[in-house]
Every structure is written in structure tokens, then in C-alpha cells.
Structure 1
Amino acid sequence: MKPILYSILICTLILACTRYPAGVEETLSQAGRNRGELKKVLRHYREHPEDSLKYQAACFLIDNMKWHLSTERTVFPDSSLFEWHTRFDSLYTNMMLRIPDSTLYSERNRERYWQFSYAARQVASVFPPDTPTIVKGTFPDPQNISSAFLISHIENAFHTWHTSPYASYLTFGQFKEMILPYRAVTGYPFYENGQRLSDMFGKHLAKSDEKTYAKIITRYNLYKNGIRQMFPNYQQTQHVGTYDMFIGQHHDCISIADNFCHVFRAYGIPTVVDCNLSYRERSGRHFHCTLLDSTGKRFKYNQTMNYTASTPSTSASPSFFRNTFGAQADSPFMLKAEGETLPDYFDTPCIREVTNENYRVAPVQLPIEKELSNNLVYLYTFNVSQGLIPATWGTVDHQHRKAWFKNVVYNVLYFPVYLKGDSIIPFASPFYITSPDTLYTSTTLVPVSPEQPGKRGQLLLQRKYPEKAYLKYRASLMVGGRFEAANREDFKDSVLLGTIKTTPILNLQELTPEICRPFRYYRYVAPDSFPTSNMGLLEFLTDEYTPEDSLQPATALPVYSPGEINRNGSEKRYCKLQADTSKYSYLRYYSAYNPNMQYSSYGKIDLMPLKRSMKVKKIRYAPANAENHIVVGHSYQLMYWDNGWKNAGTRLARYNFLQFDNVPLDRIYWLRDLTAGKEEHPFLYKDGKQLFIYHDTIVPRAAEFYHFESHF
């Protein structure tokens, strides 16, 4: 009996010694034929006690590897792309030899830089490298990561952690998420070995005189752009991972943030990729990088020149999420009930909400009147492309029938919902919370719901989106601009027709010239204080013309209400003068005479030369604007919120206003332009006026935003 017991004990001890943590074992079970490669990494570090921390790091990567996969793979037909990069890298290294930060942008260096780039591009064009191709498919990380890749990557991560002044203070927990991972963006199909990136970029980043993040980022951008200019122009339209930085045309915020994060981690700077799913006013989502320094201060890298994540404006996002490598216990993926549906972006355990790092937030609880089988509920916000989009999640207290939310941002309009299959079902009225006025006042929850749900009435609408502050500001700089006429091309005999004396409206307006006699040349001259025309539309009008002149009717002045409709009918029939394009061919496409007001004329002078002298009776002009007013000829649909977006009717705009009758009142409204345009924003309607959210009703305060040093 004893030999059998000894045998069992020995087998048990051997088994205990060979087993790995449960999460690692789960990944190994999914690795298929690649299982041996992953076990080789584990054995490599477990056999040496001095590598115990590296073994833990390897376990962390392999444990969480099961959550990651690629849907694309880059295939390089040969080594020519790498060989050309090596040549260009050597050329760039010599070009930048001993150039300090202070003279990077000097005229001499710019000229030298251009000459090197031009020569390199000409040589490479003779024998261009073959561009990579993309293979579509499903490539789970456990089945595709080699032992050589992982060991080399881990070794570089530990080297930079121990030697980098920017990372040596990190705890092991911070290191595992900000230096160690070989992936930066959840679900993004490309990744690169840290040792390879360190070899490519490290020597260039280290050349910075001042070892600040700003200077190192400058060196990174210079190198990336320099190598890109040396390569011939490619028609690469798909992402190719790291080489997005150097070739092709397809680079967006995801690839920019992903590549930046990989490079800076490999160099030893703690970096993560954060994302917002929407903006308060704009469509789309955005990825940017967050860097950490030894004091705990955060920096932003956001090269796409979008609104920065920290801008205290209404264009900021209502929430932020961090892409993690490790699964997060408090992620919706881990908290959901069996069979519960999740929003697409939340359907991964590798995200963490970090809204509280960017904004001041408050906890909120809401009652749930019905019994839910879900563990999760959500606060959605308005999004023009989808109507609603998730901003944050909350947990359900089934016993007390309450929803608990931890990261509610002040002055954001929220729609509380839960998911049932593919349906978004509201469970409470839209609301926002107001920030305390003083230390002694509390947060207030303000529901946005009708006081008299059955009341109906009329809406008179003039816009689908509020006027933009920067466009109004640019229009104000036109004050002092003047309209002139002359019979000489050099305008030495010019006369003044009129001056812009007040800030123009962001639409068409009219000026009557002070002098009315025939002239051959007309023009608008921007003021010296702001020598940019900023004209979106400019028409010189006359009512004295012949059929041979072939003039087109003038653009009608805006009509904002039913009472103004008859005004245009009593006006004279004006036509707009046409530029003599036989001599000035560029005027066929000049912005000032383009009927689309969204494009600005950027010159100081907008010239209108005629084939013969003619009188100008009126001048109509509009500053460059987004045309978010009601545009004649466009079709619009009015939506209102009633436990979901409901249709209140469709109208074709005959004038610059829309009238909707018998509409439910005191609601949240959304006017959709079905013809053109992407900018739309919800509004309330009070006392005959449109009150746009975040402009006229729910206005954020600068104190609610944390401020960061941002780099572009």
C-alpha cells in the first residue's frame, strides 16, 4: 500500500510543479499547435529564480492573450521595404548628426532636410520596394505569438523599466499595463516587437537635448515625417501596422495612437491609448495617447489635430476609456448576466473607464421601476450618426431596484437605457446633473421631461446646429473690410463703394453701394488687421443687363419667417455679374464666388473683373460658415424624444425656416438634414426660440474639466 501512496504523492507533486496559473492554462488550451511556443516562454523564465518577476510578466501576457486577436495580417513579399528603411534611417542619422533641439527648424536645416529627402526619393523611385499586402482572417494571439517574439519583447520591457528615468518608478502593476504589453489598442490587428521598435526609434529619441516629453515627441515626429518623405509616393490604401508611419495614405487616429504608444513603451515612457466613443457636439470617435511621468502628471499626445481630449469646451467627449491588455474585473464584459447583450465597444474585458481622470464626476443612482434580468444599465448620449451612443455603464441593484453609476459628468445630457437583444430601451427620463456652486451646495439632478405630455403646438425652426463661436469670431474680424470699384486694373482710380461696419451675420446679407456708375473692375479688400478675406459667398448685382451678358439670377436673401415671404416678391430682379475668366481663369473656382458658403476665400483681395463696364446696384456677401441654417431646397426631418426618437414629420425647405404644426411640445428635438450635412444637435423650444443643448441650456463650466499639457 505504501508504494502506491508514495507514487500518488510524487505524481501529485510533479503535477503541482508543472501546472501554471488557471488563466495561463486556459490560454494554453486555446493555443493549439502553438502551445509549445508559449510553454517555452514560461519554462525559460521559471527555471531561473532570478527571473521570477519576468515569469510573472510572461504569465500576465499569456493569461490575457486569450482576449486578443487580429482580423488582418501584413504580408511583406520580400525584404526590400526593410532594406530601404535601413538605408533611409542611416541617411537620416547622418543628416541629423549633432543638431541640437534649438536649431531643428532653422532655415539651413530645413533646406538640407529637403535636399536629402528629395535625393532619397528619386533614388528609391528607380527601384521601389514592393508594398505589403493584407490578408483577412481571424488570427487569435495564443495561436500566433512565437516564443522568440515574446521573450525578446519581455527582455526589452524589463530593460527599459530598470534603466529608463521615465519608467523606473513604476510599480509592477503599472509596468504591466504601461510598458509591458505588445498590444496598445484592443482589437487593433497590428502589433510589433518592443525590441525591434527600440532599435528603430531609440537612438533618435535619445538625441533630444532636454529630456522632456515635449522634446522627445518632437524628435519622434521629425523622424517619422522624415523617413516618410524619403519613401516614394505609394498608393497603399490599407493599414500596414508600424509602416503606416512611413508609407501609404491610410493613417488615422487609431494607427497614429497605436504606433506612438508602441514606440514610446519600447523606449521606456509609460504610455496608454485612451478613446472616446463620441463628442458632445460632433460625430465620430477618437483615439489619443496618455503619458505618465514620475510625479503622476499626465500628458496627451493627439497628432490628428482634432479637439484635444482636455479642451474645456462643448466639443469635448462625455466619457473616456482606456485600452488595457489585462482583463478588467469591473468591465461590462465581466459584470454582465448570462446572455446579456453589450454595446459593441464594451464587448471586451480589456477596457477601463477613465472619465474621472479627465473630468470631475459624481455618483448617481436612479430608480428602476421594472424587474430586470440584466446586471447592467447604461447612460447614452446624443450622437448624430446613431441618435444615441453609450457613454458609461452602471450596475443594477436588483434587491432595491436601483441603478448605480459611478462616472457621471456634470452638464451632460444623458438618456438612461438598458439593452434587450438589439433594442435600446429607456427606463427613466433624460437628465443632467449640475455642479455645486460652492463647497456647501450639492449636486443637483435635473430631469428633462415634459410638464404637460399631451400638449401640442407649432415650431418655427431656423437652424439644425448652433452657430460656431470661431466662425462668428472670424466674421467679426471682417469689420473694416471695404468694397471698391475702378476702371483701371491696378485700381489707381478706385472709389469706395462701402465698408463693413458691424460683424456680418453667418448668412447672406446686402450692402447698397455709395456710388453707382459703370466700372470695369470690382473687388473686396480685407482689413489690414486681418488680411484674409474670409468670404464664403460674394455677388456684385445689377438690374441693367442685356441677354448677351448671360447673367444668372442673384442668390435670394434669407427669409426667416412666414411674414417675410412677400418681401422677395416685391424686389427688383437682380442678376449677379460674372467674372471675365478668359483672362482670370482661376476665378472659375474661386471660393468667394462659389455658391457653397462653407469654403473661405483666403486672399486679402477678392477681385471681380468684367468684360465691359457695368453698374453695381447691390452687393450681397456671406462670411464663410458651416451652412447649418435652413438651406433652401434641402429636405429635413424633425424628431422628438418620447422613450425613443419619434418622427414629427418631414419638410422640404422653400425658405430659410421650417414650420411644423401639431407637434408634441416641451420635448427634446433633433432636426435632421436628409439632403446634406453632418452637423446636427438636439435642442429645446421655449418662447418661440430654439435652445440648443450645451449652448443655451446645459452649459459646461471650465472648472469641471481637468487640464493637461497636450502635444501635437
Structure 2
Amino acid sequence: MKTFFAIILVFLLLSCTSSSERIAWIVANQSANKSELTHFLDYYKTKNNRDKYKAACFIIENIPNKYSLNREGEKIYDIDIVKADSLIQSLEYSFLLKEKSPYLKKYTFEQFCEYILPYRVANEPLQYYWKWDCVRWLKGGNSDDIVKTAQNINAQIRIELSPDFYKDTLKTYTSIIQSGCGKCDDRSTLVVMALRSVGIPAAFELIPYWGSSNNGHSFASMILPDDKIVSFQNDNGNENNALPIRKMPKIYRKIYTITPAETFDRYQKIYPELFANCDVLDVTKMHKIGFRTIPIPCPRRKEPIYLSVFSPNSWIPIAISADDNFYDIGTGTQNGEKESEEALDLGNGILYLPSSYINGDIIPLSDPIIVSDNNIYSLHPDTLHKETVILNRKYPLNKRIIRFARDMVGGIFEGANHADFSDAEEIYKITETPKSQMQKVYISTGKKYRYIRYRKPKGIFSIAEFSLYQSNGKPLLFHPISCEAIRKDNNMGNVFDEKILTYYQINGGVDMWIGGDLNGGVNIDAIGFAPRNDDNSIVPTDIYELFYWDEQWNSLGVKKPDGDSAVYRNVPQKALLWLRNLTKGREERPFTYENGRQIWW
């Protein structure tokens, strides 16, 4: 807590004192680690090297807000634990790069300090040796073309990304290298480390939260001498490495310099996490996405105002303003494309809530607004006029999920009484893209079969669930069977585990199949199956609650669905709605109901 208040004081000092005064104050007020900070500065003060001393001052002047998180999520501030010898090693290596790198000759000293010199990249646990260790495992020589060198380095960094790591804190450099897995923040950090280690200025950039789906994203950007950027999203060597096809409200860059804007000078408040440390730079307009200025008149304001985006946990502030305008606010388009490639039925624009932030709470200042390239309008429920809504999902149907379902087109369900299926009869053929949920195919042959299978003659073999039913609707027990090619594959059991999110998929097979042995001829009423999916369709056995927004989320009732859809009556027209699954799941997005369809925001 002491360190936190010290940081606040540093922010206030930044606008009214000289650099030397700020450094003296920082060192004097950090008694716990004063000797290390003093040693570091004195080492360069006596070396008669003006640039190195200036760089050392830059490190200390901007160190108060730097921290990492331990496993419990507690902040460990660098200023309390840094060692002078480690800072010296890091600085010396940076200047060695400055002297030897052919690339850095074109950059200013300020760019060098921001994008090469720092001993850390983001909020990763503190380790210094990455600067000289990355070159140990990087392959290939440097090209005369800085962009090609950066692309080569990026392509070598192959990290297995998984949503299992979303809630984890950032890994150490050592842990990323040894495990080879993590989240996008870990990969972005490692790419920046690798680029800086060979003298290529780079920065960690982030999208705090998507404007069309949950969570956020980060990536690495190489900084060119003219401050233009080349971004790296993945390791595929694609020169464009375009941003993901999702709606982006804001893009920020993590920087080492403490940058208290006018907003922070005017108000002495507690700020949301994104802005609390004054270490992000708004770089939205440097990327190829749609953005615009948004006027939000708010007279007699005593605190900054924010634009917040929806998350299932709370609205999240992603933009801050000290006046009546928000600048460079994302509109949801990318490279001039109007049609979203992300999901079906996405609305035109991004949903924002003008809000304030008081004692850790988001306080609405007006109705939510939709911001698009050519329009800004608010969403206010018409409580005098009601309607009936028929809801099929709680989250947008991603086009990736549709592709998984399309992989089942051409698949055939067959019945037989010989184990080798030599007497196989076609029961049903999938000719159109099936729904991305559990569904039934009813059998009208009137014949008894011992064996039932799902066979894909060619192409991708992909299926999440397979089941058989009696005429009373109850499941039939059977022994799982499959073709010899996948019989010993442990993942094959996913198809029969009654867990809709697990699946089996293999590419390029011929006549791949799975099925069931009923241990005798049986009349089968229906076959149940599900493509690989996201389990965000309505599930008849789950419990749901619908909300509408009117200064807060107001419940419209808890209920079980009516089959594959949830029907709600007496819903205010023109309302912003949110359907929650109270039984399971975490993926949920708000929507409006327009012309009988859910339009997602």
C-alpha cells in the first residue's frame, strides 16, 4: 500500500518538478531498497558517460509504477526488489546493441530508451537475463532488412496457446521457454523480448477487451524509425499478420515511460486498472481499424468519464476522457470491411456505456450507445410497448463453429446386422449444414439393426456426440465401435461421453466411421448427433434468465426453455437484452431483438 501511494505522488510530481528532483524524491522515499537504487545511479554518475547516465535516470524516474503479479495476484513492485547489478547488466547489454546493431543507427535516443533499454516488457515476473539469452536459441542471421529479420524471429516463436491459461498471471521468461505454452500475453511478451534482444525496437500492444466477444488480446509490434509499426499476431510468417477479425474498441501500447495525461493532472482519483499506472499509450489510429471521435457532454464533472464495454462480470472501462470528447474510438470495422467475418448476426458498430468510476464501481451516465462508422445512437427500452422474443442462443454463432458443422456435410448414418457392415443400409445422409447443437434424426425404415454408424466417405471427419434413442425418448445402451484406423485413439471416446464440448476430429481420412453395437437387432427411433460446437445454443434441460438494461440489468424471469428455444413474453421493445445460462457456461453477449432475430453486440 505504501508503494501505491508513492506512485500516486510521483504522478503528481511529474507535471511540476524537474527530472532530477523527481529522481531524488523517488530514491529518498524508497528506504527499503534505497541502497540498490543509489548504487545503480552512482555507478553511471561516475562513469563520465552522459548517455548511459541519462538512460539510468530514465529507468529510475519511471520505475515506481512497474510491477509483476505473484500467483495469488498480488502486485510485487520493482522498486522494492530490483538489484543494482542486474540493472547495470541490462543497461550495458542495451548499449552494446546500440553500438553494434545496424538497425539502431536510424533511431532516436528516446526511441532507444522506450523500446530497447527497459529490463521488462509488460507485467511479467522479473527476470533480467532474457536480453542476452534470446540470441542463444534464435536461428538464422540478421538480414539487412529489419522487417524480414523481425518476421524471421516471430516465425520461430511457437507457443501453444490455450484458453486454459486465460486466468493465469504472466509466465516468467524461463517458464515460457521451457513449457512452450501459455496465452497470447505470454507469446507477445516473448516476441518483444526476442526482437529487442537483437536490437529491433518493439512493444507489447493490447486490446483490453473485444467489442464483439469476451476477453481481450495482445500482440507484439515492431517500431520503425518513423514510428510506424509492423505487428505480429502469430507465427505463420505471414507478412501482413493482420489483426484478428473481431471488433476492436481500443488498442493500447504498454510503455515504460510514465505518461500522466491532462486527465490525470486534473483529477486526483482512483482509476480503473487499465489506466491506474499511466503506462499505456493509445495507438488505435496506428492500426487499420475504423475509429471516430464521440462527443459525450457532461457538465460540472468532478471526475473523468469513461466508455465501458460489456463483459459478463461487469462493464469494463476501455477509454478515458478529461473533456467532452472521446477520441479514436473503435467502430467495429477493419480495413474498410463492413461485413463481419467473425460471426452471424453481429450488429453494425460497437456497444459502449458512458460511465464514471467511483470507489471501484461503474456508474452509468446515460443509456448505452452504439457507435459505427456513420452513426451514433442510444439504446433505451420502450417499457410501454412489449413483445415476445424467441431466443436460440446466448452468444453469437461464430463462423468458425459453422465451419465445424459444415465438416459433417456428406456424412452418412448407416444400419447393419453384420459387424463388417457388408449389409449396410443408408438411413440418413447429411446434405445441409447441421445445427451447431445436439439434434435428432428420426428413423422410419421399420427395420431392426444391431449396428449403427456415422461414416464420412472423405474429407475432414469431425463429430462431437453420437447417441441412439428408443421410441419413448430414452437413450439406448450400446458398445462404442469404430473403424480400425481410429480404434486405439483415446480421443475417440469423446464422441460417446455425453459431453457436448468434447469432440473427435481427424483430417484427410477415407471412410472413417464411429458407431454403436446394440448386441442384437433393435428398433431404433432416432439417432442423436452433434457437430463440434461451442455449447452456446439453447439447451432444453438448462435454466436461463433474461435481463434488459435500464440504468442497470433488470430480470425478466428465470425459466427452462421451450425445446431448442427460450420464449419470453412482455419484453420491452428496443431494449438491450442479455440471456444468462444459470446452469453452466461463461460465454454470453448482449443483443437487441430486431425483426424476429437476435442482433449481437
On whether the aligned pair clears a TM of 0.5, the verdict is yes
Q: What is aligned with 1:580? A: 479
Q: What is aligned with 1:652? A: 560
Q: CA 1:465–1:245 in structure 2 vs 1: closer, same or farther (change >3 Å)?
A: closer
- In the aligned structure 1, how far is the partner of 2:321 from the partner of 2:224? 31
Q: What is aligned with 1:409? A: 330
Given candidates 476, 487, 493, the residue that maps to 1:590 is 493
Q: What is aligned with 2:250? A: 319
Given candidates 296, 304, 307, the residue that maps to 1:379 is 307
Q: Does 1:273 align with 2:204?
A: yes
Q: What is aligned with 2:109? A: 172
Given candidates 50, 59, 64, the residue that maps to 1:61 is 59
Q: What is aligned with 2:82? A: 145
Shift of 1:247: 4.5
- In the aligned structure 2, how far is the partner of 1:585 from the partner of 1:665? 55
Q: Does 1:623 align with 2:552?
A: no
Q: What is aligned with 1:563? A: none
Amino acid in structure 1 at the alignment position of 2:231: F
The correspondence of residues 628-643 of structure 1 with structure 2, limited to 5 A, is 628-643=536-551
Secondary structure class of the residue paired with 1:378: strand
- In the aligned structure 2, how far is the partner of 1:206 from the partner of 1:220? 11
Q: What is aligned with 2:130? A: 197
- In the aligned structure 2, how far is the partner of 1:29 from the partner of 1:444? 53
Secondary structure class of the residue paired with 1:21: helix
Q: What is aligned with 2:34? A: 35
Amino acid in structure 2 at the alignment position of 1:257: S
Q: What is aligned with 1:390? A: 317
Q: CA 1:372–1:485 in structure 2 vs 1: closer, same or farther (change >3 Å)?
A: same
Q: Deviations over 1:440-481 (max 9, x none)?
A: xxx43223334x453334333232123221222232232221
- In the aligned structure 2, how far is the partner of 1:268 from the partner of 1:242? 18
Shift of 1:32: 1.8
Q: CA 1:444–1:541 in structure 2 vs 1: closer, same or farther (change >3 Å)?
A: closer
The correspondence of residues 40-189 of structure 1 with structure 2, limited to 5 A, is 40-49=39-48, 51-70=49-68, 72=70, 140-185=77-122, 188=123
Amino acid in structure 2 at the alignment position of 1:151: I
- In the aligned structure 2, how far is the partner of 1:303 from the partner of 1:218? 4
Q: CA 1:658–1:446 in structure 2 vs 1: closer, same or farther (change >3 Å)?
A: same
Decide whether the 8 Å contact of 1:26 with 1:63 is kept in 2: no
Q: What is aligned with 2:218? A: 287
Secondary structure class of the residue paired with 2:384: coil
Given candidates 256, 269, 291, the residue that maps to 1:361 is 291
> Which has a greater percent of strand?
2
Q: CA 1:150–1:506 in structure 2 vs 1: closer, same or farther (change >3 Å)?
A: closer
Greater mean deviation of Cα atoms: 51-60 or 207-216: 207-216
Q: CA 1:144–1:576 in structure 2 vs 1: closer, same or farther (change >3 Å)?
A: closer
The correspondence of residues 346-495 of structure 1 with structure 2, limited to 5 A, is 346-358=275-287, 359-368=289-298, 371-374=300-303, 376-386=304-314, 388-396=315-323, 403-410=324-331, 411-435=349-373, 443-450=374-381, 452-495=382-425
- Unpaired runs of at least 5, structure 2: 1-17, 161-167, 332-348, 507-511
Shift of 1:405: 0.7
Q: CA 1:372–1:198 in structure 2 vs 1: closer, same or farther (change >3 Å)?
A: closer
- In the aligned structure 2, how far is the partner of 1:205 from the partner of 1:589? 38
Decide whether the 8 Å contact of 1:462 with 1:630 is kept in 2: yes
Shift of 1:203: 4.0
Decide whether the 8 Å contact of 1:289 with 1:302 is kept in 2: no
Q: CA 1:513–1:322 in structure 2 vs 1: closer, same or farther (change >3 Å)?
A: same
Q: Deviations over 1:620-645 (max 9, x none)?
A: 33323222222122221211111222
Q: What is aligned with 1:704? A: none
Secondary structure class of the residue paired with 2:310: strand
Decide whether the 8 Å contact of 1:540 with 1:619 is kept in 2: yes
Shift of 1:683: 1.0
Decide whether the 8 Å contact of 2:392 with 2:537 is kept in 1: yes
Secondary structure class of the residue paired with 1:624: coil
Q: CA 1:538–1:150 in structure 2 vs 1: closer, same or farther (change >3 Å)?
A: closer
Amino acid in structure 2 at the alignment position of 1:470: R
Decide whether the 8 Å contact of 2:549 with 2:576 is kept in 1: yes
- In the aligned structure 2, how far is the partner of 1:331 from the partner of 1:48? 37
- In the aligned structure 2, how far is the partner of 1:618 from the partner of 1:138? 56
Shift of 1:596: 3.2
Greater mean deviation of Cα atoms: 411-420 or 35-44: 35-44
- In the aligned structure 2, how far is the partner of 1:336 from the partner of 1:383? 29
Amino acid in structure 2 at the alignment position of 1:526: K
Amino acid in structure 2 at the alignment position of 1:393: I
Given candidates 691, 697, 705, the residue that maps to 2:599 is 691
Given candidates 228, 232, 252, the residue that maps to 1:300 is 232
TM-score, length basis structure 1: 0.69
Q: CA 1:250–1:590 in structure 2 vs 1: closer, same or farther (change >3 Å)?
A: closer
Shift of 1:179: 0.4
- In the aligned structure 1, how far is the partner of 2:325 from the partner of 2:138? 45
Amino acid in structure 2 at the alignment position of 1:205: L
> Based on CA coordinates, which of the two structures has the bigger radius of gyration?
1
Decide whether the 8 Å contact of 1:319 with 1:355 is kept in 2: yes
> Which has a greater percent of helix?
1
Q: CA 1:159–1:139 in structure 2 vs 1: closer, same or farther (change >3 Å)?
A: same
Q: Does 1:498 align with 2:428?
A: yes
Q: CA 1:574–1:285 in structure 2 vs 1: closer, same or farther (change >3 Å)?
A: closer
Q: What is aligned with 2:570? A: 662
Secondary structure class of the residue paired with 1:383: coil
Secondary structure class of the residue paired with 1:262: helix
TM-score, length basis structure 2: 0.81
Shift of 1:137: 7.6
Shift of 1:182: 0.9
Q: CA 1:373–1:347 in structure 2 vs 1: closer, same or farther (change >3 Å)?
A: same
Decide whether the 8 Å contact of 2:438 with 2:529 is kept in 1: yes
Q: What is aligned with 1:25? A: 24
Q: What is aligned with 1:673? A: 581
Decide whether the 8 Å contact of 2:547 with 2:578 is kept in 1: yes
Amino acid in structure 1 at the alignment position of 2:62: N
Decide whether the 8 Å contact of 2:307 with 2:355 is kept in 1: yes
- In the aligned structure 2, how far is the partner of 1:507 from the partner of 1:20? 61
Shift of 1:20: 7.0
CA RMSD of aligned residues (A): 3.3
Q: What is aligned with 2:465? A: 537
Q: CA 1:531–1:240 in structure 2 vs 1: closer, same or farther (change >3 Å)?
A: closer
Secondary structure class of the residue paired with 1:456: strand
Q: CA 1:479–1:263 in structure 2 vs 1: closer, same or farther (change >3 Å)?
A: closer
Q: CA 1:642–1:395 in structure 2 vs 1: closer, same or farther (change >3 Å)?
A: same
Shift of 1:59: 1.0
Q: What is aligned with 1:241? A: 172
What percent identity do the matched residue pairs reach?
Answer: 23
- In the aligned structure 1, how far is the partner of 2:432 from the partner of 2:580? 32
Greater mean deviation of Cα atoms: 352-361 or 35-44: 35-44
Amino acid in structure 1 at the alignment position of 2:322: T
Shift of 1:585: 10
Q: Deviations over 1:548-586 (max 9, x none)?
A: xxxxxxxxxxxxxxxxxxxxxxxxx24443222599898
Decide whether the 8 Å contact of 2:448 with 2:524 is kept in 1: yes
Q: CA 1:537–1:71 in structure 2 vs 1: closer, same or farther (change >3 Å)?
A: closer
Secondary structure class of the residue paired with 2:106: coil
Q: Deviations over 1:588-616 (max 9, x none)?
A: 97333343333333253122222112233
Shift of 1:377: 0.5
Q: Deviations over 1:168-201 (max 9, x none)?
A: 322112111110111211xx262233xx334422
